[in-house]
Amino acid sequence: MTLDPIKPAFDPVTLAIPLFVITIVGEIILGRLRKAKAAYEPRDTATSLMMGLGSNIAGLLTGAVVIAAVVGVWQFRIFDIPMTAWWAWVAIFFLEDLTYYWFHRLSHERRFWWASHVNHHSSQHYNLATALRQTWTGGIAGTWLLWLPLALIGFPPAMIAIQKGISLVYQYWIHTEAIGKMPRWFEAVFNTPSHHRVHHARNPRYLDANYAGILIIWDKLFGTFIPETDEEPPRYGLVKNLGDFNILRVAFHEWIGIGKDLMTARSPREVLGYLFGPPGWSPDGSRETSKTLKAKWLARQEAAKEPAPPLAAE
Ligand SMILES: [Zn+2]
Ligand SMILES: [Zn+2]
């Protein structure tokens, strides 16, 4: 069997579109009938669907550049990896997932990449439609940069594209409150609705956690895993919510925020801080970052644990 190493034989995301439609309608109906936990708000769902559509259009615009870059790097490949070998698919499954973890982590920890990813977290609901709330500016922010090492190793561009699609389709079904916890062995290895609810939560205790794509093992390995606890149900959305369903604002608000801050920057340090510091960075530390929010929460926890001062001796 010969497979085109550059043009993917199929696109997992396109193939999954009927599944997206059927399961979103199913989740809405189950939610209405109170057979499952599923909160939908029509304006919010419309925004999610429009963001998904816009993301595909943006992908078409930047696609040619991305393909040229990946194919260009692949010309200098170290190994010739055959697409027909089973071990090649096992290898790319793990390596693509590892690169996804790091890119996703960067997308939360550095504002330039957060500006592109923030829209995925802008819904205050957590349902299957939220999964479709995808970036419009990922091409510009370089979502695809971590595909380049895979091409350099020698994985054919078509293989990288298919594995990326499989990862995206996998991550679709975990955007739901209808599923509580999966069996323990599954929760231990794979990213699940429970793990990803934590990732979408804005409760301080859950911030900056569970960046996994398919396998949760990377978070456990690199120290970013936080389990969902029954005592604290996740509250969804951004630390400061947009309160807006305007798709242009959802897509571009953080880029506009960066632009406004850069206009006030007084030194190269401030320019770099506003662009590549953690989201919420400010020269005088007057704004909140997820680290400061988490530290304050921890301090409150500690204070609550401390025994009350002894009563004064009479
Ligand atoms: Zn994220
Ligand atoms: Zn998500």
| Structure confidence by residue, pLDDT tens digits, 41-77 | 999 999 999 999 999 899 888 888 999 999 999 999 9
Task: Retrieve residue 151's tokens.
Answer: 């091409």
Domain-embedded: residue 102: yes
Does the residue 161 lie in any domain? Answer: yes
Assigned domain for 145 exists: yes
d(CA 86, CA 152): 20
Residue 125 pLDDT: 94
Ligand 1 centroid–CA 200 distance in Å is 7
Backbone angles phi, psi at 201, to 5 degrees: -85, 150
* C-alpha of residue 278 to centroid of ligand 1, in Å: 14
pLDDT digits (tens, 9 = 90+) for 253-310: 999 999 999 999 999 999 999 999 999 999 999 999 999 999 999 999 888 887 766 6
Q: How far is the CA of 69 from the centre of ligand 2 (A)?
A: 27
Supply the pLDDT for residue 311: 64
* Range of the structural domain that residue 45 is part of: 12-222
Q: What is the pLDDT of residue 27?
A: 95
Amino acid identity of 121? Answer: H
* pTM for this prediction: 0.93
d(CA 148, CA 99): 10
What is the CA(196)–ligand 1 centre distance, in A? 9
Ligand 2 center to residue 90 CA distance, Å? 24
Question: Looking at the 3D structure of the chain, how many domains does it have?
Answer: 1
- What does the pLDDT look like over 126-168, one tens digit per residue? 999 999 999 999 988 888 898 999 999 999 999 999 999 999 9
How many angstroms separate the Cα of 131 from the Cα of each of 16, 287, 294? 13, 29, 26
Ligand with minimal distance to 202 CA: 1
State in Å: Cα 101 to ligand 2 middle.
Answer: 13
CA of 233 to the centre of ligand 1 (A): 18
pLDDT range class, residue 314, cuts 50, 70, 90: very low
Mean pLDDT of 203-232: 97
pLDDT at 313 over 80: no
Distance 46 CA to ligand 1 centre (A): 20
pLDDT at residue 132, rounded to an integer:
94
User: Is 294 among the domain residues?
Assistant: no
175 Cα: distance to centroid of ligand 2 (angstroms): 6
In a domain, 158, yes or no: yes
56, HSE (Cβ side, Cα atoms, 13 Å): 12
Residue 246 falls inside a structural domain:
no
From CA 256, how far away is CA 263, in angstroms rounded? 11
Query: Could you give the CA distance from residue 9 to residue 156 in angstroms, rounded to a whole number?
Result: 12
pLDDT of residue 10: 87
| CA 215 to ligand 1 centroid distance, Å | 15
Residue 301's Cα: distance from chain center in Å?
A: 28
pLDDT band with cut points at 50, 70 and 90 for residue 209: very high
Considering only the C-alpha atoms of the chain, give the largest distance between any 2 of them, rounded to a whole number of Å.
Answer: 91
Q: What's the rounded Cα separation, in Å, for the pair 152 and 167? A: 20
What spacing in Å lies between the alpha carbon of 156 and ligand 2's midpoint? 27
Q: 275 in a domain, yes or no?
A: no
Say how many Å lie between the CA of residue 114 and the centre of ligand 2: 13
Q: What is the pLDDT of residues 5-35, one digit of tens each?
A: 988 988 999 999 999 999 999 999 999 999 9
Task: Give the closest ligand to the alpha carbon of residue 125.
Answer: 2
Name residue, tokens 């997308």: 107
| 78 C-alpha to ligand 2 centroid (Å) | 34
Distance 219 CA to ligand 1 centre (A): 13
Q: Is residue 234 part of a domain?
A: no
Q: How far is the CA of 12 from the centre of ligand 2 (A)?
A: 18
Whose structure tokens read 């055959």? Answer: 82
